[in-house]
A and B are shown apart, each in its own frame.
Chain A
C-alpha cells in the first residue's frame, strides 16, 4: 500500500443502506485482467459489495481505490470511462432500440456540446458486432429475447470502452443455455483484451467454469478467495452456504463441480 497501485481495491470498506452495516471493514484487491466471481448465500452482501466497487453506493467508511485514488475523488464521469457497471435486471423505457441503448455507452466520453461523432458510431457498431446483435440494432429492446436483451446491455458497457466491468447477476431470468451464452461472451470479450471483470453469480458451478478467481462471502465478510479449485471445496460450501455437497472435477477442464446433498439441519439424505 505504500506505492500507488493500479486497478480496483477496497480498503477497510463499510457499506450499508439503513440501519446496521451490511459490510464492515472489508479489504480486497480485485485481480487485474482476470474474471472474478463473488458467490455467497442470499443477503451475504455480495451485490452490496459490487455496488460499492462501482460507486452506486457510497462508503460509510473506508475507501474504494481506483489506481490508488479514492473513487469519491474522481468525477463520476471519469469513473465511467474506467469502470462500466451493469445493474441487476436493468430497465429501459419502452420503444428504446438496441442501437439507442448501446449509443448511451458513449455518454461519458462526449462533451455536452458535442454531437454523436463518426468515431462514436464506429465504437457502437463494433460493440454490436462483438456481441453478435448488429442485425438487431433497430429493434426495440422489448421485442428481444432475454438472452438477446442481456447482450444489448453488455454491448452498452463495451461501448464505454472501460478496462473494468462490474456485472450484478448477469444471468438472472435466463434459461441455462442463455446463461452459458452470456458467460461465454463475457469471458471471451474480456480475456481477449486483458480486461478485468467482477460479477456476482448465484450458480456456484457456473462461477467455477467461467472465473479465474472466486470470492466467497458470508455475513458481509470474505470467507475465502482464490482459484475455483482452492475455494470451492466441501468444507467451504458447508461453512458459507451451510450446504452438504460433493465437489467433483467436471470432465472438460477439471474445474470443480458441485453436487448438492442437502442442507445442514435438514434431514440427512446420504446416510
Chain B
C-alpha cells in the first residue's frame, strides 16, 4: 500500500520536476512536447533534451543514494551510517577533481572527451577503489561494523585532503569547475551522460532489492546469522559491493549530493514501520527527495542553486533531529 502511494508520489514529483525545473513554461506545452508534439521547437527541445534527462538523472541519483544508504545502515547496524562512510563519495570526488585539474589545466576548463568520459570514469574508479580500501582495512577475521566506520572515516579524510591539495595545483577556472562539481549538481545533464547511468542504476537497484532477506538475517548479528546457515562473509561482501557501486553511480552522475543516503532510509522505515529499511521503498523516497530538492532549488531563489545545496539545507536539520532523538532515548 505504502509502496503504491510512493510510486504515485514519485510520478507526481517527476511531472513537477519536468514542469517547473527551469525557466517557467506553460504546463500544456510541456505535456504536448513530452507526447511528441514538436511544433514548438524551442519548448520541445528544452523538454526532451534538457529537462527530461535532468529529471531521469535526479531519479537515478536519489534512488541509488537511498538504496546504498539502506544497505549501509543495515550492515553497519548503525542508523547514522551512510555510503560516505564507505569512502565512496570522497574517493569519487578525488578522482573527478584530479581529472578536472590536470586535464583541464591551461584551457578554459574541461571539455570534450575528457569531460564526457574521462571524468566520470576517474570518479567511478576512484570511488570503487576507496570502497575496496575501506573494506580491506576493516576486514580482519570477518567484518566488524566499528572497524568499518573507522576505516571509512580515515579513507574519506585522506581523500578529502588530497582533493584539497590538488585543487591548489589547478588554475582558477578548473578549480572553480571542480568546486561546482563538488557541490553536487544536475546542471547540464544530457542523454549522452544520463543513459549509461540510468541503465546501470536499474540493474544495481534490482539486485539490491532482492537482497532484503539476507539483510534482515545479517541484522541479527554474525553468530546468529551463521547459525541460521548464512555465509555471512559472502553476503556482506556482495551487499557492500552493491552499496559502493550504487553510491558511485550516483556520485558520477551528480557529484556528492548530501544527506539523501542518510535521510531516505530513515523516512522509508518510518513510513513502512519495518525493522530494517526496505531497499525499494528507500529508493522511491530518495528519488522523490532529489526531484523535489532540484525543483525547489531551480525556483526558490533568483539564481538556481546546485541540488546538493538544497538537499543539505533540508537534510542537515533532519540529521540534528535524529541525533537529538537518539540522545533522548539514551538518557
State the A residues within 8 Å of B (CB).
Answer: 17, 51, 54-56, 75-81, 84-87, 90-96, 100-101, 104-105, 107-108, 112, 160
Contacts and interface: CB of A to CB of B under 8 A. Distances in A.
A100 B220 contact: no
B227 A54 contact: yes
B322 to A, nearest CB: 14
A96 B227 CA distance: 18
Contacts of A55: 226
A91 B275 contact: no
B213 to A, nearest CB: 8
Given A93-B276, A104-B217, A80 B223 contact: no
Question: Which one of B141, B229, B273 has the highest number of Cβ atoms from chain A below 10 Å of its Cβ?
Answer: B229
Nearest to B77: A93
Nearest to B329: A94
B35 interface: no
A90 B223 contact: yes
Contacts of B223: 51, 56, 85, 87, 90
B224 A90 contact: yes
A94 B230 CA distance: 21
A93 B219 contact: yes
Interface string B206-230: 0000000100110111011011111
B231 interface: yes
Contacts of A78: 229
Where chain B touches its partner, the secondary structure class is loop
B276 A87 contact: no
Contacts of B220: 90-93, 101, 104
Contacts of A93: 77, 219-220, 275-276
A79 B227 CA distance: 8
Given A93-B77, A95-B273, A100-B275, A107 B224 contact: no
B275 A76 contact: no
Nearest to A168: B223
16 contacts: A76-B226, A76-B229, A76-B231, A77-B230, A78-B229, A80-B229, A85-B223, A90-B220, A92-B219, A93-B275, A95-B275, A105-B228, A107-B213, A107-B217, A107-B228, A112-B213
Given A76-B229, A91-B220, 7 more contacts: A76-B230, A77-B229, A80-B227, A85-B227, A94-B275, A104-B228, A107-B228
A100 B216 CA distance: 10
B267 to A, nearest CB: 15
A112 B141 CA distance: 27
Q: 5 tightest CB-CB pairs across the interface, nearest first? A: A80-B229, A85-B227, A77-B229, A87-B223, A108-B229
Nearest to B224: A90
Contacts of A76: 226, 229-231
Contacts of B274: 95
A186 to B, nearest CB: 16
Interface in B215-265: 216-217, 219-221, 223-224, 226-231
A100 B228 CA distance: 14
